[in-house]
Structure 1
Amino acid sequence: MSKKKNTTTPTPHDAAFRSFLANPDVARDFLELHLPAEYRQLCDLSTLKLEPATFVEPDLHQYASDILWSVKTTGGEDGYVYTLIEHQSTENLYMPFRMLRYSVAAMQRHLEQHKTLPLVIPVLFYHGERSPYPYSMNWLDCFENPALAAKIYTKPFPLVDITVVDDNEIMNHRRMAALTLLMKHIRQRDMLMCLDNLVRALQDIQDEEQITVLFNYLLNGSEHVTVEFLQTLAQRLPQHEDSIMTLAERLKQEGIQRYPAGYPAGYPAGSSAGGASKSTGNRPGAPERGNAGSTNLSADRTF
């Protein structure tokens, strides 16, 4: 027999707090009393609007009641005030982290209908047995090394922007060189421009699974790769010639399936009756990848 789902409020603390704080007049008094002055000055409390907090995970209700109010800032911007109640006798060291998670969830839901990221002010209302509340309310103190956490999470995140990295520098990226080079140039109309470096990078890869992934990515990710390019690549990489020429045949078959009566003018892939075109331009009306073969970029051989 399946257990009946418990839909009742977990504790009387929840019911009492939720009933009061769902009232805008009570919520306004609460926020006027307990918001830090610098935050309170940002909020136009006459604009309070109760929001559904459906993003809160079920396990949260074991120890906290959540109330989410939206409020306009004094500058006219949208913002949220998120209040939580802690009512367990055993305090939670990670409550700041939990509050941060749900603050981010409120931001995410706001972004689904708006174009700007809102401010969210989390507030914890505590009435546990232990007094005073024993833990820090700084979420960075949840880490074993708060100083290192502060360096990581209060500064811009590291950015690897390969669009501004010189190809010669990419060639020094060891096992990442081939993938990085392909991803940098995958939208390039003339892939022959990066052929020399690509050949060098591919020659250094001994892992057959990685070669498989790269070749499938080349075919599935580029709208500009041509049979001519693949033929030239095969000549420069004789150890992978069979695989590359199979890839070239797939490229031809895509055109045959798309244009069974013959290629339109300017289509750079050779038909079954003709050779490769000298053009390296875009393939107009290129079919979606996968019509003539798998688009899976895993190690399974699909070329």
Structure 2
Amino acid sequence: MNKLKSLFVFTSDQRKGIFALLFFIIALQFAYFFVDFSIPTNEDPEEQKWLSLQPQVDSMKMDIANKRPKMYLYNPNFITDYKGYKLGMSVDEIDRLLAFRKENKYVNSSQEFQNVTKVSDSLLNVMSPYFKFPDWVNNKKEYKEFKKYPNQAFAKNEKIVLIDINQATKEDLIKIYGIGEAISVRILKQKEVLGGFVSMEQMKDVWGLSPEVIENLNSHFKVSVLPNFKKIDINNASLKELSQFYYFKYPLAKEIVTYRSMKGNISNIEDLTKIKGFPVDKAKTIELYLAFN
């Protein structure tokens, strides 16, 4: 016991040494917590400037990543290759729509669009909220109900006086249900471009007219007399003159000029139908605008 007790008995110098050691340890602890021992670096002011902008750059990147392109209403009949690709359509789906439109046909509902293009239900659900069809499409049901006439006696006794379509005014056309001011102007502009209508079949060439509205037009208008316009001399007209004709686009006009140079004069409409790209279904109408001399 005495030996153990002797271990804790220190001389005056030893006690001083112990206190000095404790003081040194405590001083080191304070220095560790309160003194910055990092090595100072020479920072580039320009680098610091760019680093200060980093939070803003990161924020802009996040905004761009989360930002979705704004979609606008559009008529699906006029989807181009590029727009179809951006909307997520496959090449085959776009080609089906373009082939359908080349036949001068139009889709008038989301269901018709899917039937033509064969797009999936999921893609249709994404695209269809932005479809915008002409006003007559939305009013088609209302139009059909209008034609039924609640008073059958009136429907039977009503006598319609046919007007020459080439003499019709904008006011005459607007009276037809399904034709507004915009479409009436479009019909009159088409007449001006052609020099006059030669057949009511040409109403099918006016964009925005549904089969029902065309049928109603036929019940109110007709071509009584062929309009007086200068016919196109098919054998002497220049490439420019031919390409300006409504039914002849530049490639077809070029084919006609080539045909003339290789085989001589074109005698009749049958000769024209042999040329590549000629719209055979409109041959009878086109013939009335041409002179075969």
Same fold (TM over 0.5): no
TM-score, normalised by the number of residues in structure 1: 0.22
Greater strand proportion: 1
Task: State TM-score, norm by structure 2.
Answer: 0.23
Structure with greater proportional helix content: 2
